[in-house]
Every structure is written in C-alpha cells, then in structure tokens.
Structure 1
Amino acid sequence: MLTAEVSLYPQKTTNASQIINNSLDTLRQHDLQTQVGSMSTRLQGTDDEVWAGLRDLFDRAGAQNEVNMVVTISNSAV
C-alpha cells in the first residue's frame, strides 16, 4: 500500500482551475482512495495503482499546459 500527497501547479495560464479539475477527474478514473484538500490531494492504493494514477495525472495535465507536480510518497500507513 502506498500513500501519495500530490500538488499540481499549472504554469503560464489563466485556466489553472480547469486544468486542476480535469486532473481530479483523471484521478477518479483510477481505483484510488482520494482526499482532496485546498493545496494537495492525498492518494492511497496499491503500488501499481498509485504510480499509474500519478503518471496519468502528469501526462494528461502536461498535454494541456506546462505544469509542475510535487509528490510525497510513503509506504507507511500515514
């Protein structure tokens, strides 16, 4: 089981909220437990599910715009 806390920061855009909302929709397509916060989203799932969700999140957001993504990953039950 992995836990990840992820923050996505769209760059050089006036459409950041839409990119972030699209990114949350992307995460919902994966079999992950999610807790959406004001500055980050916490994910929990198997190793493969978390890594796949993070990869998909970055790829899809990056296809829309330049983005920075900050991730903290833990293999402990936080």
Structure 2
Amino acid sequence: MITAEVAVYPMKTSNATNAINNSINTLKANNVSYTVNSMNTQLTGTKAQIFNSLESMFTEAENTGGEVSMVVTITNASK
C-alpha cells in the first residue's frame, strides 16, 4: 500500500470549484480509499490504484477547468 496527498489547482478559470470537485468525484470509480481535507485529498491504495487515480483526477480537472497544476506527495512509509 502507498499513500498520496494531492492538491489540484485549476488556473485561469472562474470554475475552479467545479474542476476540483469533479476531479475528486473520479475517485469513486477508482477503488481507492480517500479522505478530502480543506487543502488536499489523501489517497491510500496499491501503486496502480494511486497512479490511475491521479491520472483520472488530473484529466477531469483539465477537461473541466483548462489549465491545471497538481501537487502530489507519495510515500510507501507506514504511519
């Protein structure tokens, strides 16, 4: 299992909230555990689940909001 913290930052859009929410909603289909916080979303799963989820989140935010910046921290260390 690995853990990732991800923050999505839509740029040059008045629709940032929708882009962020839509990207988070993609996680429901990715079979990954996640917790939404005020500044980021924490994901826990296999390496494949995490990387697939990150790609889904980025693609959805890009499709909704255009230009996107995504900040990700990934660890395999146990808590």
Cα distance in 1 for residues equivalent to 2:39 and 2:76: 22
- TM-score (norm: length of structure 1): 0.94
Give me the identity figure in percent.
45
Aligned-residue offset at 1:44: 0.2
RMSD of the alignment, in Å? 0.9
- Which segments of structure 1 move beyond 2 Å, counting only runs of 4 or more? none
Whichever residue aligns with residue 9 of structure 2, its letter is Y
How do 1:35-74 and structure 2 match up within 5 A?
35-64=35-64, 65-74=66-75
Segments of structure 1 that go 5 or more residues without pairing to the other structure are none
Cα distance in 2 for residues equivalent to 1:37 and 1:23: 14
**Could you say which residue in structure 2 is the equivalent of 1:5?**
5
Aligned-residue offset at 1:2: 0.8
Aligned-residue offset at 1:61: 1.3
